[in-house]
């Protein structure tokens, strides 16, 4: 099968997954996102040629992209897309009797919890990085408590989740609190030179556009801030790239921003320079996956790294793009080179099913707003599979399995509790009409008449 024919098949698979997510169950959106990421990377060759000279990809610009028809990375991504798309067929719709009632998703408590986690994790990050958080001359240098710095990783997830919750939170004060705590996870990564700084503004921009589309309106007063947020996220990527090569930290952010703006102004690409840098950092996975397929990494190495326990990882040198020792191989390319198309379909199909079923379970629980969490995980797994080796991907998959188990337990507990409270919830939500009043009156009469009858029989028996 040629790459063009395979592309058509992958496109059909993605179309089916999207159709299922719209018409059958929105939980199918998780495998659809994974399928879309892999399909887009299969078209990454021309984008790499356009952006490879930007210098922010980590791979020398002298590495070319193989033509689409002759590439081995293309079938690796397309078979992965097909597997993820087909897994949408395995996501069941939510039964009508399993739908939670209107009062089972208290967003206020969730919003407060997310804001607290974001704030506490940010303080943990600052303590973990130490004084170098404010002024740092070397990228990744830390003079604080390293364990605390590593333990603060849930902060970025809570920061992103806080951005999502602002779209549904009705309390104005809580919305402001969520925006403030999420902004901390834009400032923190920007100060330390982490590319995760782009996540908060770009996601916030996309959510604003989504709300406008969902409400079928177009307010220029909201479109302008949404565009500004998106531009800020793209510009932040260039700032982070410069921060890694010069003194950075919170107090040095103005200097880094000024240097980045000066570089953009002096560049021949002008305002397109940040966009090229962002695109290059993503589509660099295309030439890396091409080399990964040809490296023929041993399947024992790939499966050995699936053990999530510390100290069990195989040597990282076995999964490097030599002679560029700092560049890891692509897991999508490695797995395809070792297992072929069948293994690729099975693995990425299982990935899509895990995230889709976790989303399905969360939609049947009290925490319906948390059902967006698998979408973040599936996007992370997709990006890691493209640009990183097996150890990183298996770690996120281990967390995803934990998420799946937790979502199943939450769903089961909610359904059991629902059967006990069904009558009470129905009575509380019953509209005040004549039939409802009669039913309540009948209930009161039947409950009050029964005791006097028994009392009358006792009196009759007593007085003969």
Q: What is the pLDDT of residues 245-266, one digit of tens each?
A: 888 889 999 999 998 888 887 7
pTM of the model as a whole: 0.76
pLDDT band at 100 (very low <50, low <70, confident <90, very high): low
Produce one character per residue of 425-451: b if its CB has 16 or more CB atoms within 10 Å, e if not: eeeeeeeeeeeeeeeeeeeeeeeeeee
Q: Of the candidates 56, 53, 55, which has an alpha carbon nearest to the alpha carbon of residue 64?
A: 53
**CA dihedral of 299, 280, 206, 407, whole degrees rounded to 10:** 10
Residue 277 in contact with residue 238, Cβ under 8 Å?
yes
Select the more confidently predicted residue: 393 or 434: 393
Residue 111 in contact with residue 55, Cβ under 8 Å?
no
pLDDT band at 385 (very low <50, low <70, confident <90, very high): very high
Asked whether residue 80 carries a pLDDT value surpassing 70, the answer given is yes
Asked whether residue 189 carries a pLDDT value surpassing 70, the answer given is yes
Residue 95 in contact with residue 409, Cβ under 8 Å?
no
With both helix axes pointing from N to C terminus, report the angle between 331-363 and 285-295 in degrees, rounded to the nearest 10.
Answer: 120
pLDDT band at 346 (very low <50, low <70, confident <90, very high): very high
Q: Report the C-alpha gap between 316 and 297 in whole angstroms.
A: 12
pLDDT band at 155 (very low <50, low <70, confident <90, very high): confident
**Residue boundaries of the structural domains of the chain:** 3-420, 430-463
List 324's β-bridge partners, or say none: 321
CA 199 to chain centre: 10
The least confident of 181-195, 260-274, 344-358, 436-450 is: 436-450
DSSP symbols for 349-362: HHHHHHHHHHHHHH
Select the more confidently predicted residue: 310 or 453: 310
Q: Of the candidates 81, 41, 10, which has an alpha carbon nearest to the alpha carbon of residue 284?
A: 41
Q: What is the pLDDT of residues 286-334, one digit of tens each?
A: 999 999 999 888 888 899 888 877 777 788 888 898 888 888 999 999 9
Residue 17 in contact with residue 85, Cβ under 8 Å?
yes
Q: Which two tokens mark 26? A: 């929105």
Residue 50 in contact with residue 276, Cβ under 8 Å?
yes
Report the percentage of the chain scoring pLDDT > 90: 31
pLDDT score, position 286: 93
Select the more confidently predicted residue: 354 or 244: 354
pLDDT score, position 268: 67
Q: Which two tokens mark 4? A: 């063009």
Q: How many CA atoms lie within 13 A of 342 on its CB side?
A: 1
Q: How many CA atoms lie within 13 A of 29 on its CB side?
A: 15
384 contacts: CB under 8 Å, gap ≥ 6: 331, 392, 393, 396
Q: What is the pLDDT of residues 197-233, one digit of tens each?
A: 888 888 888 888 877 776 777 777 778 888 888 889 8
pLDDT score, position 372: 79
Q: Of the candidates 290, 282, 359, 357, which has an alpha carbon nearest to the alpha carbon of residue 37?
A: 282
Q: Report the C-alpha gap between 307 and 403 in whole angstroms.
A: 17
Select, from the ranges 54-58, 170-174, 326-330, 417-421, the one with the highest average predicted confidence (pLDDT). Answer: 326-330
**What distances in angstroms separate CA 150 from CA 156, 166, 401, one per listed residue?**
12, 27, 21
Longest dimension (CA), the chain: 111
Q: Specify the long-range contacts of residues 94-103, CB closer than 8 Å, at least 24 apart.
A: 94/25, 94/27, 94/360, 94/363, 94/364, 98/364, 98/415, 99/364, 100/364, 100/365, 100/366, 100/368, 100/414, 100/418, 101/418, 101/425, 101/429, 102/429, 103/425, 103/429
What is residue 182's three-state secondary structure?
helix
Q: Report the C-alpha gap between 204 and 376 in whole angstroms.
A: 14
Number of separate helices (H) and strands (E) present in the chain: 18, 2
**What distances in angstroms separate CA 270 from CA 34, 230, 267, one per listed residue?**
33, 17, 5
pLDDT score, position 107: 63
Q: Please, what is the Cα angle at 165 between 164 and 168, to 5 degrees?
A: 110
Report the percentage of the chain scoring pLDDT > 70: 84
Q: Report the C-alpha gap between 330 and 177 in whole angstroms.
A: 39
pLDDT score, position 414: 44
Q: State the pairing for strand pair 320-321/324-328.
A: antiparallel
């Amino acid at each position: 099968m040629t790459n063009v024919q395979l592309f058509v098949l992958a496109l059909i698979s993605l179309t089916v997954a999207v159709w299922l997510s719209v018409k059958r169950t929105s939980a199918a959106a998780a495998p659809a996102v994974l399928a879309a990421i892999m399909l887009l990377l299969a078209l990454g060759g021309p984008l790499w040629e356009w952006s490879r000279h930007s210098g922010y990809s980590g791979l020398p610009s002298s590495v070319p992209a193989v033509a689409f028809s002759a590439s081995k990375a293309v079938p690796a991504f397309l078979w992965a897309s097909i597997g993820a798309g087909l897994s949408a067929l395995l996501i069941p719709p939510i039964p009508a009797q399993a739908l939670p009632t209107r009062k089972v998703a208290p967003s206020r408590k969730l919003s407060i919890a997310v804001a607290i986690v974001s704030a506490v994790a940010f303080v943990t990050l600052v303590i973990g990085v130490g004084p170098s958080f404010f002024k740092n001359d070397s990228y990744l240098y830390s003079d604080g408590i390293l364990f605390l710095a590593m333990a603060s990783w849930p902060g970025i997830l809570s920061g992103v989740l806080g951005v999502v919750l602002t779209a549904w939170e009705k309390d104005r004060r809580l919305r402001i609190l969520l925006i403030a705590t999420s902004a901390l996870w834009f400032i923190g990564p920007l100060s330390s030179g982490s590319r995760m700084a782009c996540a908060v503004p770009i996601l916030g921009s996309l959510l604003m556009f989504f709300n406008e589309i969902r409400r079928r309106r177009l307010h220029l007063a909201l479109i302008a801030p949404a565009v500004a947020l998106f531009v800020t996220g793209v510009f932040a990527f260039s700032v982070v790239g410069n921060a890694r090569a010069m003194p950075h930290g919170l107090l040095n952010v103005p200097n880094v921003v000024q240097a980045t703006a000066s570089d953009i102004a002096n560049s021949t690409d002008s305002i397109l320079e940040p966009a090229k840098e962002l695109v290059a950092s993503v589509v660099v996975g295309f030439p890396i996956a091409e080399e990964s397929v040809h490296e023929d990494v041993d399947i024992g190495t790939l499966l050995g790294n699936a053990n999530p326990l510390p100290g069990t990882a195989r040597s990282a040198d076995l999964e490097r793009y030599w002679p560029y020792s700092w560049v890891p191989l692509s897991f999508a390319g490695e797995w395809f080179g070792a297992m072929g198309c069948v293994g690729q379909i099975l693995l990425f199909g299982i990935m899509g099913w895990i995230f889709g079923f976790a989303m399905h379970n969360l939609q049947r629980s009290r925490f319906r707003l948390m059902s967006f969490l698998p979408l973040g995980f599936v996007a992370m797994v997709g990006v890691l599979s493209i640009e990183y080796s097996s150890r990183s991907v298996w770690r996120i998959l281990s967390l995803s399995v934990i998420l799946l188990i937790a979502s199943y337990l939450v769903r089961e507990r909610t359904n059991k509790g629902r059967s006990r409270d069904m009558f009470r919830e129905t009575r509380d939500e019953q509209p005040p009409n004549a039939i409802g009043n009669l039913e309540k009156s009948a209930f009161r009469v039947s409950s009050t008449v029964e005791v006097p009858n028994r009392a009358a029989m006792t009196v009759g028996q007593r007085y003969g």
